[in-house]
Amino acid sequence: MGSKHPLSIMTDGNEAMRQAIDEVFPNCQHRVCGWHVVRNACAHINGPKKSSAFRSFIFDHIDEDKFDECWNEMIKQHGLEDNVWVNMMYEKRHRWAETYSKGHFFAGMRSTQRSEALMRLRNNFFTDEYASNTKSPVILSHMKALEKHASSIYTYRIYCDITKEINDSIKYSHFSPWNEENEVEYVLTKYDSPYKKTVSVFYYRDRIDFQQVVEDGDWDSSKHNLPVLSCECKLLQNKGIPCCHMFYVMKVENITKIPESLIFKRWTKSATDDVRIHLQPDDDCSKSVDIARFASLSAECNYICHRGSQTEEGFNLIKRELNILRNTLQGLDDEFRNNCNKNGDDSSTKSQILKDPNVVKTKGRPIGPIAPTTPAGKP
């Protein structure tokens, strides 16, 4: 992992694993898989209504200052005061409740997603990759500039999540903003239920993004990686995408592009551009490496071919460059073969081929008919 500690870890709740994580990664946010907590709740809490009430604390967003109040109300309503397992889970609430995972990056995951779910994601990877590089989504929201910018940088699946947040931003209105030089606080509320629940969004005008050029030279380089917007809901920290409250403020401030400081590179189309495959001289997995390299090149070529097919000039340009590449690769292949013949790498390679181990005589009854034995007392 590049000598870096993980930001967050999700496990099935194993106690030995928890102790190891606390010792090795003390600053890592450890969360218990929601699926395992639900399964244990069904086993220790009798009745679907009771287990459903407990389930809401696992997945619902509840303000931290109201968690204890809602918990005590649930305990009294369903008569769980003497339930040992429920009391034990309350002591461990920081490891499984959605409330206490707020602001910690889990990429939107609430379970370990093992087995079939993980295989499904892996099998759909190339489908999503192809859709990201070839499809041009239809812009339907009321903030066309922001949605168009999102479609150009994010993968198709993340773009769908972004459009949902953009569409949800229309549900909000705000009170008169509080201003202090370069810092502005917007207090948002649902337009049909003002004052019922508010969310604060802070907009920092003095935090300049990478792409913005400042002509007067007053740019403070210490602020270049700080977020231009921050929100109390902390969806950006938890999932890695701007929330609907941020998009509302972008609309009010007439921001037409998503600020660079709010974009997580892992969700962009260019996330794999810097990925390099490192090979060892004695690598025995050459076939797997070849497949991985082929997949990486295919993804790049799909995008190039799609763009080149749109115009005749692009088509002719790609044809010319492909002919040049074909001749260059043929020369590299010939040079590689000549070097192998000179250095005798073919013979050394053959001697390094792994074969089946030699058959060892096993214990037990030998295969074949059993030889007749001589009766006792007879020669």
| DSSP states of 294-314 | HHHHHHHHHHHHHHHTTSHHH
pLDDT at 233: 86
> What does the pLDDT look like over 104-162, one tens digit per residue?
777 767 666 654 455 566 666 667 777 777 777 778 788 899 999 998 899 888 898 99
Q: Cα-flanking dihedrals φ and ψ of residue 141, to 5°?
A: -80, 175
Rg (C-alpha) for the chain, rounded Å, is: 30
Given a cut of 70, whether residue 373 has pLDDT beyond it is no
More confident residue, 233 or 62: 233
Q: What is the dihedral of CA 93, 96, 99, 102, to 10 degrees?
A: 130
Q: CA 153 to CA 219: how far, in whole Å?
A: 26
Other Cβ atoms within 10 Å of 263 Cβ, number: 20
| Contact (Cβ atoms closer than 8 angstroms) between residue 243 and residue 208 | no
Percentage, residues of the chain above pLDDT 70: 74
Going by DSSP bridges, is the β-strand pair 8-11/172-174 parallel, antiparallel, or unpaired? unpaired
- Give the closest residue to 6 by CA, choosing from 101, 104, 93, 98: 104
Q: CA 293 to CA 295: how far, in whole Å?
A: 5
Residue type, 333: D
More confident residue, 89 or 213: 89
More confident residue, 179 or 278: 179
Q: CA 329 to CA 327: how far, in whole Å?
A: 6
Given a cut of 80, whether residue 88 has pLDDT beyond it is yes
> What does the pLDDT look like over 31-75, one tens digit per residue?
888 888 888 888 888 888 888 888 888 887 777 778 888 888 888
Q: CA 75 to CA 129: how far, in whole Å?
A: 47
Confidence of residue 166 (pLDDT cuts 50, 70, 90): very high
More confident residue, 194 or 29: 29
| Contact (Cβ atoms closer than 8 angstroms) between residue 156 and residue 136 | no
pLDDT at 372: 61
Q: What is the pTM for the complete model shown?
A: 0.54
Instruction: Note the residue count of the chain.
Output: 379
> What does the pLDDT look like over 259-270, one tens digit per residue?
988 998 888 888
